[in-house]
Structure 1
């Protein structure tokens, strides 16, 4: 039985789901990290700004995030992206990012997942009308600003997405005394979110699927220490940032890569991909330290061995700060499509999270 046939075979299923509040979604993974693109059912008006859309969801429709991201339909590391359709043909789509704990300004892997989904569904041009090897550019509006994207097309399919964000910058560094008794240099950068980069050898571990539970626990301790010890102000805002994302770094295993990392968030999730915004922030830190030149490539490896291809495109000079304009390339693959529904008689229908971080019920 094919997916298209199930509705014909069981029409009562379509009727049942159609009577309930629900979301129409397309799932994908970007180099291992899931993205759930919400195409409809959110109540977001066409042409809304991403900031307006995020405020609407946060204050009036947080059930969308809970339904899309949390158990039993999702999990702690599921990531959601609600689409804002344009009000006029040819205008760029918008997106509101969401995870198990919040509504981030920016997410790199989800940008690649959203862009791939829009391309594959024909919402921003028909891929089958292009040559076997072609590129085309478009924009995506996010809370972090409007992104410039390029789709790389091979054989009528979207083989990769290149995104460019407006800004990434270095915040500050410090020596931190870890629970292991070692001193570790911690570098903090912003690439759409704040990230603290910590060498994984400082806690006597390595970045492997088998050590992820230990890395999540160790990240919690580092996060707590930074909350009381990190004193560098964000050069753009003038305030000391709250750092939720701890990124363990190591030397690469893949000969094509320059570094390996795994980010762990304050909600207890971790990134299976190399993490797009963390890659942007890492490039900004390395550039500020003189370890990466503008125009130079930076290939980042994930816990699964997948790769993002980054580059510091150019310098950025603000009023009282400087940074880089970063670019990252990665690939996503669609894995599922369907409708998430909520039975209003279900006591757990709004979703929950248990294990691996703060519980939500």
Structure 2
């Protein structure tokens, strides 16, 4: 598959979940080889990343956004499938993007909306995701995701850093692997003015983790890296303040569904939540998701929690991306003035 074999254009719906942009490719994308969505994601990551680069880099994209590739499901119990395309790679799952995808499917009529609740089942590289959309007057008011089981690999993992000495991180899975770091350890607070400093710290810690910590999902081959560092703090009202950092150097605008799921597993492992309990996750700009523990499970020989994440997304437009094989920037580019000093890592 090369660029000239694509259709002439891609159609995307423009969607955001609590300020985090999660565009959805609804038509025009090429066939991606693979029997499962995991196979297809691995194909994008290891064989042909031309579509991902086309839609996630300048001049067609900017740093603070994600593009979701909508696909037919590969399993009979799913309504649709998607892969999360970001500037560093294709990822298996994202809560905010899942909320964007469900909202786009329902409000565009691609999945029939049933009021007051529509159940949508999504085939992802991390497993089957069941979403319940609260709908009224043709609008998707909120989406609750029953995420894949979340579990802890290590509490208080020591990480040696040149800048902050030895810090502690909880290593947990919530759809992808996270390192959850109490933000006080790096001398910052989670406020908008610190977004750049938090982003750069998170990317620096992620690189150190790669050298010092090995992870592997007990049941899913290929899920073997810490995808994100999420800083956390506690607000006075009991909410968890979250700040997920993404390559090459930005922060999640949303409260982060998979990160909130991973943190729920940590809270359970520490005896702080039980089935039926919930926590509000609040983002750097004040948006909120609700993370609820709806049950217990096991992944391999590890204890796990079943997380339900509830949030809201808005469809704010549509766009068509035209593909021209003689475009000199068909592979895209990224510059450090907006993408941050670690921009070179995107080709690493």
After TM superposition, the score normalised by the length of structure 1 is 0.84
> Corresponding residue for 2:139?
157
**More deviation, 46-55/325-334:** 46-55
Of 310, 329, 332, the match for 2:310 = 329
**More deviation, 217-226/295-304:** 217-226
Q: Is contact 2:11–2:319 with CA below 8 Å preserved after alignment?
A: yes
Report the Cα offset of residue 103 of structure 1.
1.1
Report the Cα offset of residue 301 of structure 1.
0.5
Q: Does 2:127 match 1:140?
A: no
Distance of aligned partners of 1:46 and 1:156 in 2 relative to their CA distance in 1, 3 Å threshold:
farther
> Corresponding residue for 1:305?
286
Distance of aligned partners of 1:229 and 1:240 in 2 relative to their CA distance in 1, 3 Å threshold:
farther
Q: Does 2:254 match 1:273?
A: yes
Of 201, 214, 228, the match for 1:245 = 228
How far apart, CA to CA, are the structure 2 residues paired with 1:219 and 1:177?
Answer: 14
**What residue ranges of structure 2 are gaps of 5+ in the alignment?**
1-5
How far apart, CA to CA, are the structure 2 residues paired with 1:239 and 1:141?
Answer: 17
How far apart, CA to CA, are the structure 2 residues paired with 1:303 and 1:282?
Answer: 16
How far apart, CA to CA, are the structure 2 residues paired with 1:341 and 1:171?
Answer: 44
How far apart, CA to CA, are the structure 2 residues paired with 1:339 and 1:245?
Answer: 30
Distance of aligned partners of 1:56 and 1:203 in 2 relative to their CA distance in 1, 3 Å threshold:
closer
Report the Cα offset of residue 63 of structure 1.
2.2
Distance of aligned partners of 1:308 and 1:236 in 2 relative to their CA distance in 1, 3 Å threshold:
same
> Corresponding residue for 2:172?
189
Distance of aligned partners of 1:285 and 1:216 in 2 relative to their CA distance in 1, 3 Å threshold:
same
Offset from partner CA, 1:291-322 (integer Å, 9 cap, x none): 22122101100011000101111111244211
> Corresponding residue for 1:11?
none
How far apart, CA to CA, are the structure 2 residues paired with 1:140 and 1:153?
Answer: 18
Report the Cα offset of residue 47 of structure 1.
11
Corresponding residue SS for 1:79: strand
Q: Is contact 1:307–1:330 with CA below 8 Å preserved after alignment?
A: yes
Q: Does 2:87 match 1:100?
A: yes
Q: Is contact 2:216–2:225 with CA below 8 Å preserved after alignment?
A: no
Distance of aligned partners of 1:229 and 1:103 in 2 relative to their CA distance in 1, 3 Å threshold:
same
Report the Cα offset of residue 243 of structure 1.
2.3
Bigger fraction of residues in strand: 2
Distance of aligned partners of 1:183 and 1:136 in 2 relative to their CA distance in 1, 3 Å threshold:
same
Q: How many residues align?
A: 336
Corresponding residue SS for 1:226: helix
Corresponding residue SS for 1:343: coil
Q: Is contact 1:279–1:310 with CA below 8 Å preserved after alignment?
A: yes
Corresponding residue SS for 2:265: helix
Distance of aligned partners of 1:176 and 1:319 in 2 relative to their CA distance in 1, 3 Å threshold:
closer
> Corresponding residue for 2:3?
none
Q: Is contact 2:277–2:293 with CA below 8 Å preserved after alignment?
A: yes
Q: Is contact 1:163–1:329 with CA below 8 Å preserved after alignment?
A: yes
**What residue ranges of structure 1 are gaps of 5+ in the alignment?**
1-18
How far apart, CA to CA, are the structure 2 residues paired with 1:300 and 1:196?
Answer: 16
Bigger CA radius of gyration = 1
Offset from partner CA, 1:235-285 (integer Å, 9 cap, x none): 6679995324111111226x3x52101011243232100111001101011
> Corresponding residue for 2:343?
358
**More deviation, 156-165/232-241:** 232-241
> Corresponding residue for 1:226?
209
> Which aligned pairs between 1:61-76 and structure 2 lie closer than 5 A?
61-76=48-63
After TM superposition, the score normalised by the length of structure 2 is 0.87
Of 251, 258, 263, the match for 2:244 = 263
> Corresponding residue for 2:26?
39
Q: Is contact 2:33–2:43 with CA below 8 Å preserved after alignment?
A: no
